Every structure is written in C-alpha cells, then in structure tokens.
Structure 1
Amino acid sequence: MKKQGNKKETKYWSGEVTRKSNALDLEGGVFTWNNPKKIALSLKMSAELSDRRKAAPFQSAMSMLNFYINRAGKNLNPKRKKILNQAKEELRKAFK
C-alpha cells in the first residue's frame, strides 16, 4: 500500500478515500453495526439518494462495502467479516 506524506504524518491513500469519498454519504458507523440487513438498507438508501455516484446504485453500494472489507484486510475481526459478508447478501436481496 502506498503511503503519502512526510515521516511525521504518514497516511494511506485508502484512508483518505474513506474520509473524503465523494460517492456516497454514509450514515456514521454503518460498518460497525451488528445487523447485516440494517447495514444493507443503509447502503442502499445512501446509494439511491446520492447524485454524485458514477455507477448504478447497487454497484456503488456494493463497491463501498467491498472497499471497506478489503481495506481492513487481515485486521478485520472474523465476526465483523461474517456480518459484512452477510450484508452483501442482504444488499443483493434489497436491490431485487
């Protein structure tokens, strides 16, 4: 992963994307919730309400969820990963 900045303040580009993404306005703490269906419905609502996204609502919502999971990598707690993967399934159902 490429780092930006000087030695005092090292930042990862992916953290910058999460903080300043112009694609979706997410509810605070959405990826920390324990209810996969609630996560999915929140992502769906954010994607459908956004007028700045560059893809279809489903693709934008799923991309944001995958980005979060991939960014966490090995540091993602197995329980949290299971919940977020269940949220993917709920997101697919929500858009059918």
Structure 2
Amino acid sequence: MSPTTVCVADVTILHIRGNPPPVFRLTDRFREDRSMAKQSKAQKDTMERVMHEFEHGELKMRGGRTVKNPKQAIAIGLQEAGASKDRSRSQNRRSLQRTKRKERRGETARAAAEGRRNDPTANPDKKTRAALYAEARRRDIPGRSKMNRDELARALGR
C-alpha cells in the first residue's frame, strides 16, 4: 500500500493505510508559493505544539472533547497561531499573543502532560512574588508594591 500525503498550511500529514495514527511533519514546501503568507517562528512553534498535542490525544475543543480529526487540529493550530485566513490581521495578532501568554504560563495540554518547567511550586524554597507580597503586606513593609520578587524576598529576610 502506498502512503497518502496531504499538505495543509506548512503541515504534511503522512498517513499509511492500516497504520494509524497519522504522522505530522512541518515542511518548508510552501516557501516558494507566493499565495500563502509566510509564518513567523512563533506561529511555527505554536503549530508544532498543537500538532504534538493532537498526536498524543491531548488537544481539546472548547467543550472539553478530544479532537480526533486532523483537519480540525490544523484549523485549531492556525487559529491559535494567528494565521487564520478568516480573521483580520489584528484579530490574528491578538490570537497569537493570547496563545503565547498561555504557553508562558504553562496552561497548554502539552505543559500539563509533560510537567511545567517554570512551575514556581516545584521548588518549595522559592515562593512566588504574589506569596511574598502577601507576607510583606501582613508585615506592613513600606514600598512593597514597587518591589519585584527578589527585592521582596530580601526585604522579608529570606
């Protein structure tokens, strides 16, 4: 049996009959095509993350149901990456910014499944700025609102 290849927006879906799940690869095939907009590195990274979540069964729709259709996964990836052709440039920019904020906070399915690297609760000695600020507020330390995390820790004598 020969493999079936489908190209959609810089993602190649290689599906060999009888061997699910399909394999996804980001390609540079559309670089020569002038009709498609060039994706930024942030957009590519987001598409890569979404396809990774889809391959591992972690990609969810709004209702919480798992995405099973590869075309739906690509549509979600394009929307999150801010590369949707159905939305305006400003809406796409906002979508990408929202997605990047979500990724930085570790609120993606991939981060939840693989464990958050920047998890402030992972190191019990290192409290978050919010926790330090709350303690500084209880102790009534002056100038606490303008302090960053390290300054709050110093002021509290940690």
Q: TM-score, normalised by structure 1?
A: 0.29
Q: Larger radius of gyration, structure 1 or 2?
A: 2
Structure with the larger strand share: 2
Higher relative contact order (CA 8 A, sep 6+): 1
Structure with the larger helix share: 1
Q: TM-score, normalised by structure 2?
A: 0.20
